[in-house]
Amino acid sequence: MHNTEKGMKPLRLSEVADLLDGELVGAQDPEITGVASIEEAGPGDLTFLASKKHGRALAASGAAAVIVGPGLDVDRPAVRVSDPYGAFASFLERLLPDRDRVFPPGVHPTAVIDSSAEVAGAAAIGPYCVIGSGCVVGAGSRLGAHVILGCDVVVGVDNLIYPGVIIREGCLLGDRVIIHAGVVIGSDGFGYYPGQGGIRKIPQVGVVEIQDDVEIGAGSCVDRATTGRTVVGVGSKVDNLVQIGHNVSIGKACSLSAQTGVSGSSALGDGVFTGGQVGIGDHVKIGAGVRIGGQSGVSREIPAGQTIFGYPALELVETFRMFAALRRLPELLRRVSRLENGSGGTAGKTGKDQE
């Protein structure tokens, strides 16, 4: 039976405490039959409290029990641990379906593997995979059904490559990489020049390098470099339907939310965070630790550490001030007309017009 939200084997809270190396708080030992967020939890559900600020949400929650950190008061049965987020994650880990059901081990007989490819004995290759000449697939890596590796692709160890992923010729994946369904890695960069007879294609001879511990969300595309490499740095996480253009360099531990687009030759420093649908122009440098609000448009260099927002993106506080002022603009036009008519000055104005 698959572990759906209620598919877990029921456990006493004391058993949960043992599993998480935590302390049972309170006299009761309720049966736990599911897990859920604070807002969604109901009878039988275990939830977790990340910080004091969610205390009110807990009061309103239907959860049977809660995982909490040191020093937080709770109003119901609890398991106290040093790292509640990590404990909750490790409890969820136990509820995942068996990996051998999701990625059956072994090489499926329908996989088409070129005789020159090296597939480690401990790798799993799903039905109808196609692995081209010169490929290397490391030990412990699992490819779901219908994964296609073009020639000379190198996949490190312990990768999870979900069904339908396409990785084109010469691209390189590190270790412990997760690529979700429908991703395309190594498609041609969008490079043309005005030539005889119209728009002419610039051959895209570079590759893509996906470094260790990267995760790339469903349906995203990472273009190969025109020359050299398009790079997604160690530990970076990319959400669904994200576009990463040719010769882009994404630093380490970045987080790119869904539908973000990074145009060709732009470079993001380490730890950059984008909200959803952010657009970054070409040849733009984004400093380390920059945070970019959803739907922002960025076409200039951003110094490290800034938080920016808007279209075009400015520092957050400036954009908020502008948005606030903007809502007063129609009224401002009237006020200026009154001033021009000689009736807007101290004499004629009412208190509500004042800032």
Which residues does 108 contact at the CB level (< 8 Å), separation at least 6? 125, 126, 127, 128, 129, 145
Asked if 152 touches a copy of itself (CB under 8 A), the answer is: yes
Q: In terms of CB distance, is 27 or 111 closer to a copy of itself?
A: 111
Question: Please, which residue, 120 or 205, has the CB nearer to a copy of itself?
Answer: 205
Q: Which of 157, 276, 306, 307 binds a copy of itself (CB under 8 A)?
A: 276
53 contributes a contact to a copy of itself by CB under 8 A:
no
Nearer to a copy of itself, 17 or 113 (CB): 113
Window 290 to 349, contacts with a copy of itself (CB under 8 A): 294-295, 297, 299, 311-312, 314, 318, 321-330, 332-337, 339-342, 344-346, 349
Contact flag: residue 229 with a copy of itself (CB under 8 A) = yes
Bridge partners of residue 261, in order along the sequence: 243, 279
Q: Cβ closer to a copy of itself: 27 or 177?
A: 177
DSSP codes joined into one string, 72-95:
---SS-EEE-S-HHHHHHHHHHHH
3-state secondary structure of 64: coil
Question: Which of these segments, 17-25, 61-69, 73-81, 165-173, binds a copy of itself (CB under 8 A)?
Answer: 165-173
Binding string, 131-150, against a copy of itself, x = CB under 8 A? -xxx---------xxx-x-x
* 13, 30 contact by CB (below 8 A): yes
- Residue 232: exposed, middle, or buried by beta-carbon count in 10 A (0-12, 13-18, 19+)? buried
- How far is residue 302's CA from residue 324's CA, in Å, rounded to a whole number? 23
- Going by the DSSP 8-state scheme, the letter that residue 70 receives in this structure is T
Q: Which is nearer to a copy of itself, 77 or 84 (CB)?
A: 84
Specify whether 246 is catalytic.
yes
- Considering 2, 108, 246, 283, which one is annotated as catalytic? 246
Which region, judged by CB under 8 A, interacts with a copy of itself, from 11-19, 21-29, 61-69, 157-165?
157-165
The residue with tokens 């490790």 is: 90
Question: For a copy of itself, which stretch binds (CB under 8 A), given 15-23, 57-65, 73-81, 240-248?
Answer: 240-248
Minimum gap (Å) between residue 60 Cβ and a copy of itself: 14
Bridge partners (DSSP) listed for residue 242: none
164 near a copy of itself (CB under 8 A): yes
Please identify, using beta-carbon distances, which residue of 27 and 167 lies nearer to a copy of itself: 167
The pairs formed by 10-14 with CB atoms below 8 angstroms and a separation of 24 or more are: 10/44, 13/46, 13/64, 13/65, 13/77, 13/79
Strand pairing class (313-315; 307-310): antiparallel
- Computed on alpha carbons and rounded to an integer, the radius of gyration of the chain in Å comes to 27
For the CB of residue 185, give the shortest distance to a copy of itself in the complex, in Å.
Answer: 9
Quote the least distance from Cβ 322 to a copy of itself, whole Å.
6
Q: Which of 30, 69, 174, 261 binds a copy of itself (CB under 8 A)?
A: 261
SS3 284: coil
45 and 64 in contact (C-beta within 8 Å)?
A: yes
Is 61 an interacting residue with respect to a copy of itself (CB under 8 A)?
no
Considering the rule CB under 8 A, would residue 92 count as an interface residue with a copy of itself? yes
Minimal distance, residue 167 CB to a copy of itself, in Å: 9
227 binds a copy of itself (CB under 8 A): yes
Q: For a copy of itself, which residue of 195, 300, 303, 305 counts as binding (CB under 8 A)? A: 195
Look up residue 17 and give its amino acid. A
Instruction: Please answer whether residues 207 and 172 qualify as being in contact, where contact means their C-beta atoms are separated by less than 8 angstroms.
Output: yes
Helix, strand, coil percentages for the chain (3-state, nearest 5)? 15, 30, 55
Q: Which of 22, 30, 34, 233 binds a copy of itself (CB under 8 A)?
A: 34
Q: Which residues are catalytic?
A: 246
